């Protein structure tokens, strides 16, 4: 039985139907929309539009995790996101705010400003305090699968057996989080992160295997390079919708997207 609710600051939020998580990149160098919205005024317009288009969750990030991305200081990451986290918290009280970070200091500061969820691409690998922090704060936590770092991950696609290895990774980390007192975990197989073209497609087609954990599953397919490779440079939206359709049929509960309106229509 899949867990159908998450605890948001003491209130249960029911996941009765698939949810759309809109991507708000406050970075100059993200792979698709880097630099388009990293100005506060432009970001406010982006947030307001995503809400009106039907996003239930907004995922705000200040650190590009595209392949080959460089490290930035924690102060710079926080400076990029703090105003838009606060704006969203004040102006869109019914929206769940997710912060895309692997740093526990950012997680704590974001929580204090009104954020609800931490979306950690590193699965706790880059900051040894992250699991303890989200468990203490009782924040729902998106646990993603990755190998290496954004700079090295595409050289780490040599799995003996992809699906069992990812399932084993999740099992160990879920046990650790629960031992620390975490309340809510969402799992993300990490499409595009240390996975080659065929491995990404295999994961989407076998997404139902992750229901073994009885936890909500999030997928981030939107406009990634394997979508371009399969559908062509000028068909990344159509390709994203096609692959999200397969993911939804195979049990995805949350789809993380750049194009909220079109993906909301897909769910309908």
Q: What angle do CA 77, 83, 88 make, to 5 degrees?
A: 115
Options 80, 82, 224, 264, the catalytic residue = 224
256 classed as catalytic: yes
Residue 163 buriedness (CB in 10 A; 0-12 / 13-18 / 19+): middle
Options 46, 80, 109, 256, the catalytic residue = 256
Of 210, 208, 257, 214, the closest CA to residue 56 belongs to 257
**Sheet with 141-144, side-by-side order of all strands:** 185-188, 141-144, 117-120, 96-100, 57-61, 19-25, 254-257, 218-219
3 classed as catalytic: no
Burial profile 66-103: b = 16 or more Cβ within 10 angstroms, e = fewer: bbebeeeebeebbebbbebbbbbbeebeebbbbbbbbb
Look at strands 117-120 and 141-144 and give their pairing: parallel
Enzyme catalytic residues:
224, 256
């Amino acid at each position: 039985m899949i867990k159908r609710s998450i605890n948001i600051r003491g209130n249960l939020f029911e996941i009765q139907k698939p949810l759309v998580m809109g991507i708000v990149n406050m970075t100059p160098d993200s792979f698709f929309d880097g630099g388009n919205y990293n100005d506060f005024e432009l970001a406010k317009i982006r947030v307001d539009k995503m809400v009106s288009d039907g996003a239930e969750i907004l995922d705000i990030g200040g650190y590009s995790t595209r392949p080959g991305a460089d490290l930035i200081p924690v102060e710079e990451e926080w400076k990029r996101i703090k105003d838009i986290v606060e704006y969203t918290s004040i102006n869109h009280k019914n929206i769940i705010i997710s912060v895309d970070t692997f740093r526990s200091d950012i997680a704590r500061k974001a929580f204090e400003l009104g954020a609800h969820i931490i979306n950690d691409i590193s699965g706790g690998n880059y900051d040894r305090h992250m699991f303890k922090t989200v468990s203490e704060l009782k924040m729902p936590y998106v646990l993603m699968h990755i190998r290496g770092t954004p700079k090295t991950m595409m050289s780490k696609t040599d799995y003996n057996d992809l699906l069992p290895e990812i399932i084993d990774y999740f099992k160990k980390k879920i046990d650790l989080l629960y031992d620390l007192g975490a309340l809510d975990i969402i799992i993300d197989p990490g499409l595009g992160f240390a996975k080659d073209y065929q491995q990404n497609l295999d994961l989407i087609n076998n997404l139902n295997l992750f229901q073994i954990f009885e936890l909500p599953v999030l997928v981030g397919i939107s406009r990634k390079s394997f979508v371009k490779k399969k559908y062509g440079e000028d068909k990344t939206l159509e390709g994203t919708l096609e692959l999200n359709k397969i993911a939804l049929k195979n049990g995805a509960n949350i789809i993380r997207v750049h194009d909220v309106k079109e993906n909301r229509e897909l769910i309908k």
